[in-house]
Amino acid sequence: MPRIIAGSRKGMNLYAPPSKTTRMTSGRAKEALFSMIGDTIEGMRVLDVFAGSGQIAFEALSRGATHATLIERDRDAITAIQKNIIKTRWKNQVFLMAGDFRRNLAILKRRGEQFDFIYIDPPWKAADTLAMQFHDVIPDLLSEGGLLVIESERRNRILDFDDVGLKNVKSCQYGISVLSFYRSI
């Protein structure tokens, strides 16, 4: 069961979908992610794609982010996120977009939405294919100076974003997971 590590909801356990349908970001990777981001999360608008339980977005809100948009299509994960919204009492700070990520990213782009922190944790078996599908739209959704973090499997690294103006500034390995950090060039 995922747990909020720090901030206003520190120690709160979150609902999680059955492990057969999603893969949770490890506590170790999540802790490392937020220690690298530090206090800069305060006041940020967050986009969590392939959100699972929403634990990354809820952690960001607990640490001072002002808003989180979560994209998820798995029914069990959507149910877990809805329960977590109620449990954390963040219904005014969280916007859940159910359904296909491509359609939802296109909607956000059409609306002119921008985010300071985008976290993408695609299903590892299809990560390369999915990365190619969000490759062109993500830079339009990332605010100037914003941070994109992609979680991937160690042996299945995500493609470069240099051609769309994002540079890989850091990559860190945690077990079989790799967190790749991108910023505007």
Output the domain CATH number for residue 178. 3.40.50.150
117 within some domain: yes
7 within some domain: no
> Is the pTM for the entire model greater than 0.75?
yes
Q: Which domain holds residue 132?
A: 27-184
53 within some domain: yes
The more confident residue out of 23 and 96 is: 96
The more confident residue out of 136 and 53 is: 53
5 within some domain: no
Cα dihedral: 171, 147, 131, 2 (round 10) = 80
175 within some domain: yes
146 within some domain: yes
> Which residue from 17, 20, 29 is spatially nearest to 54, judged by alpha carbons?
17
Determine how many CB atoms are found less than 10 A away from the CB of residue 25.
20
**Rounded distance, CA 67 to CA 11, Å?**
20
Instruction: Report the pLDDT averaged over residues 97-120.
Output: 96
pLDDT at 77 over 90: yes
pLDDT at 4 over 80: yes
Which contacts (CB < 8 Å, 24+ apart) does range 86-91 have?
87/12, 87/14, 87/15, 88/9, 88/12, 88/14, 88/58, 88/61, 88/62, 90/58, 90/61
15 within some domain: no
157 pLDDT tier (thresholds 50, 70, 90): low
The more confident residue out of 115 and 152 is: 115
The predicted pLDDT at position 164 comes to 84
The predicted pLDDT at position 125 comes to 74
19 within some domain: no
The more confident residue out of 124 and 8 is: 8
> Which residue from 113, 182, 176 is spatially nearest to 150, judged by alpha carbons?
182
> Do 167 and 139 meet the contact criterion of CB atoms below 8 Å apart?
no
Number of domains in the chain: 1
Looking at 42-46, 75-79, 154-158, which range is the least confident one?
Answer: 154-158
